[in-house]
């Protein structure tokens, strides 16, 4: 059984659990090498009870294959992949920070909203990662896009260094492969599904754009776009795709940015942005026209402040916070 201090493959020492899902556990770990070499890494290891389930194993192996080919600053990078004791493990770069989900949870605890320029900055960087995945080509130079299919606040990581990274491509569909999941089976968290995906349609760039739109709406509003007592109620709301205007929960957000988020959330895919690149450029132009230049240092300070609260339970005075603003 995995525990702090356990070494995998003789060189990856588990430190503490960073996250756990139904299929795998993610550990903060340390890679050991010659002459005292060390570096922090993340180890994602398939759980024992699913290690013999072929469908889960195929998804895990596919995640490793896909991520190894997505080399980009806004995608969590894969360093190694192996099998020990009949269980696969994935070695990835460690992001010193927190997920967007954790950031928003702490903002809620503090009764604050994330300032909209920060949300826009996160969107731009996440879109860079999606753009790289959607524009992927195979070894022969042929288009082989990867659609994430699970863009959620939990899968957008914010580093203290100001970098934003997409992670968890466990449900990703690489279009250079035959279908590896069952046909007509819906994949992904129901509250972030594009309306067409509730009918088990094929994923596209527009389905990832829609999911990011849900994330942005939630980040601005401080509450889920589609909420319900259970997944069935949430699923039905997502399938209808009825989106309240951003201005209802956040009248302070510029209408131009609200329009961008709402376009990403258009019920019909053809009414959304054509690509992640197009959406990224529209957001960047909006910020540029308002003379806003969100740099990595700004985002890094916000993340560092929130991480300090997470770890110590204290925040600096509101006047010194670069991140959230008080709710109106």
Q: What is the CATH number of the domain that holds 34?
A: 3.30.200.20
| pLDDT of res. 177 | 54
d(CA 121, CA 145): 24
Rounded to the nearest 10°, the torsion over CA 316, 320, 323, 327 is 90
Asked if the structure places residue 323 within a domain, the reply is: no
Question: What's the CATH code of the domain at 208?
Answer: 1.10.510.10
| pLDDT of res. 321 | 52
Closest CA to 166 of 157, 175, 176: 157
Asked if the structure places residue 320 within a domain, the reply is: no
User: What burial letters (b/e) apply to 86-100, b meaning 16+ CB within 10 Å?
Assistant: ebbbbbbbbbebbbb
Asked if the structure places residue 327 within a domain, the reply is: no
Asked if the structure places residue 50 within a domain, the reply is: yes
| pLDDT of res. 227 | 87
Q: Are 20 and 26 a contacting pair, CB within 8 Å?
A: yes
| pLDDT of res. 183 | 44
d(CA 30, CA 37): 10
d(CA 44, CA 22): 12
CA end-to-end span of the chain = 49
Residues 58 and 110 in one domain: no
Closest CA to 157 of 108, 95, 107, 215: 95
Asked if the structure places residue 22 within a domain, the reply is: yes
| pLDDT of res. 187 | 47
Residues 28 and 48 in one domain: yes
The domain boundary residue, chosen from 73, 93, 113:
93
Q: Are 117 and 323 a contacting pair, CB within 8 Å?
A: no
Residues 123 and 137 in one domain: yes
pLDDT tens, residue by residue, 14-49 = 999 999 887 889 999 999 999 999 999 999 999 888
Residues 228 and 86 in one domain: no
Q: Which residue range(s) make up the domain with 111?
A: 97-311
Residues 79 and 191 in one domain: no
Asked if the structure places residue 206 within a domain, the reply is: yes
The set of residues, in sequence order, having a beta carbon less than 8 Å from that of 309 and lying 6+ positions away, is 106, 110, 315
| pLDDT of res. 206 | 97
**Which residues of the chain fall short of a pLDDT of 50?**
178-187, 323-328
The domain boundary residue, chosen from 46, 66, 93:
93
Residues 116 and 71 in one domain: no
| pLDDT of res. 327 | 44
For residue 55, what are its two tokens?
């469908």
Q: Are 59 and 126 a contacting pair, CB within 8 Å?
A: no
Residues 262 and 284 in one domain: yes
Asked if the structure places residue 274 within a domain, the reply is: yes
Residue 61, classed as helix, strand or coil, is helix
The model carries a pTM of: 0.91
Residues 142 and 18 in one domain: no
E strand spans, the chain: 7-8, 12-20, 24-32, 38-46, 78-84, 87-93, 97-99, 112-114, 146-147, 156-159, 164-166, 173-174, 324-326
- Give the active site residue among 83, 111, 150, 208: 150
User: What burial letters (b/e) apply to 111-133, b meaning 16+ CB within 10 Å?
Assistant: ebbbbbbbbbbbbbbbbbbbbbb
pLDDT tens, residue by residue, 41-87 = 999 999 888 888 888 888 888 888 888 989 999 999 999 999 998 89
Whether 230 is a known active-site residue: answer: no
The domain boundary residue, chosen from 93, 113, 141:
93
Residues 31 and 165 in one domain: no
Q: Are 260 and 212 a contacting pair, CB within 8 Å?
A: no
d(CA 271, CA 231): 27
Order of strands, sheet of 97-99, starting from the edge strand that comes earlier in the sequence: 97-99, 156-159, 164-166
d(CA 262, CA 44): 35
Q: How many domains does the chain have?
A: 2
| pLDDT of res. 270 | 96
Residues 66 and 125 in one domain: no
């Amino acid at each position: 059984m995995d525990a702090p201090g356990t070494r995998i493959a003789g060189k990856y020492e588990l430190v503490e659990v960073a996250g756990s899902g139904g299929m795998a556990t993610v550990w903060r770990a340390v890679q050991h090498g010659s002459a005292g070499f060390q570096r922090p890494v993340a180890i994602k290891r398939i759980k024992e009870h699913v290690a013999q389930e072929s469908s889960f194993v195929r998804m895990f192996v596919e995640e490793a294959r896909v991520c190894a080919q997505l080399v980009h600053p806004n995608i969590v990078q894969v360093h190694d992949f192996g099998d020990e004791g009949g269980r696969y493990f994935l070695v990835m770069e460690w992001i010193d920070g927190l997920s967007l989900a954790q950031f928003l949870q702490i903002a809620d605890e503090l009764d604050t909203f994330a300032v909209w320029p920060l949300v826009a900055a996160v969107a731009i960087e996440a879109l860079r990662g999606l753009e790289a995945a959607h524009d992927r080509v195979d070894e022969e130079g042929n288009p082989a896009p990867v659609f994430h299919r699970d863009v959620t606040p939990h899968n957008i990581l914010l580093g203290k260094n100001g970098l934003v990274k997409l992670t968890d491509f466990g449900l990703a569909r690489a279009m250079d492969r035959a279908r590896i999941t069952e046909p007509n089976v819906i994949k992904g968290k129901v509250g972030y599904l594009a309306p067409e995906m509730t009918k088990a349609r094929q994923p596209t760039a527009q389905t990832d754009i829609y999911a990011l739109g849900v994330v942005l709406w939630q980040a601005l509003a401080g509450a889920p776009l589609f909420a319900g007592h259970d997944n069935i109620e949430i699923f039905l709301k997502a399938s209808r795709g009825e989106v309240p205007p951003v201005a209802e929960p956040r009248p302070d957000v510029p209408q131009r940015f609200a329009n961008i988020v709402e376009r990403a959330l258009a019920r019909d895919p053809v009414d959304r942005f054509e690509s992640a690149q197009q959406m990224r450029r529209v957001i960047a132009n909006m910020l540029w026209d308002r003379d806003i230049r969100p740099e990595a240092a700004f985002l890094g300070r916000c993340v560092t402040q929130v991480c300090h609260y997470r770890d110590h339970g204290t925040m600096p005075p509101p006047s010194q916070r670069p991140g959230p603003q008080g709710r109106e």
